[in-house]
Structure 1
Amino acid sequence: MAQARGAEGESAAQAAPQLLPPLPADVDECEREDNAGCVHECVNIPGNYRCTCYDGFRLAHDGHNCLDLDECSEGNGGCQQTCVNMMGSYECFCREGFFLSDNQHTCIQRPEEGMNCMNKNHGCAHICRETPKGGIACECRPGFELTKNQRDCKLTCNYGNGGCQHTCDDTDQGPKCGCHVKFLLHSDGVTCIGERHFQQHVILETFSNETCAVNNGGCDSKCHDAATGVHCSCPMGFMLQPDRKTCKDIDECRLNNGGCDHICRNTVGSFECSCKKGYKLLINERSCQ
Structure 2
Amino acid sequence: MWSRKNVSPYEFVFVCVCVCTSVTYRTLTGFDVLESETFPPGTLALVGRPGDQYPDSKHLCTSTWLQSPWPCEVFQGGCDYRCNKTSNTCTCPVARSLHRNNFSCTEPTAARPPPETPRCPEGYKPAADGGRCEDVDECAEALDLCANEGEQCVNLDGKYECRCADDFVEEDGGCVNTSICMLCEHMKCVKVSGVYQCACKEGYRVSPKNPTECEQVCSQRECPAICSSNTAPEKKDMQQCYCPQGYIVDLEGSDGSATCYDIDECESQALCDHECENLPGGFRCVCRKGYRLQGTDKCVRLQQGGEEEEEEESASGSPPDLASTPVSLQPAAVPSYIKAGSVLGIAVFLVLCAALLACLVKHVSGRCASLNLNSLKHPDIDIFYLQQVSTETYKRLSFDKQFKNDSQ
TM-score normalised by structure 1 residue count? 0.27
Which structure would you say has the larger RCO, counting Cα contacts within 8 Å and 6 or more residues apart?
1
- Structure with the greater alpha carbon radius of gyration: 2
**Structure number with higher helix proportion:** 1
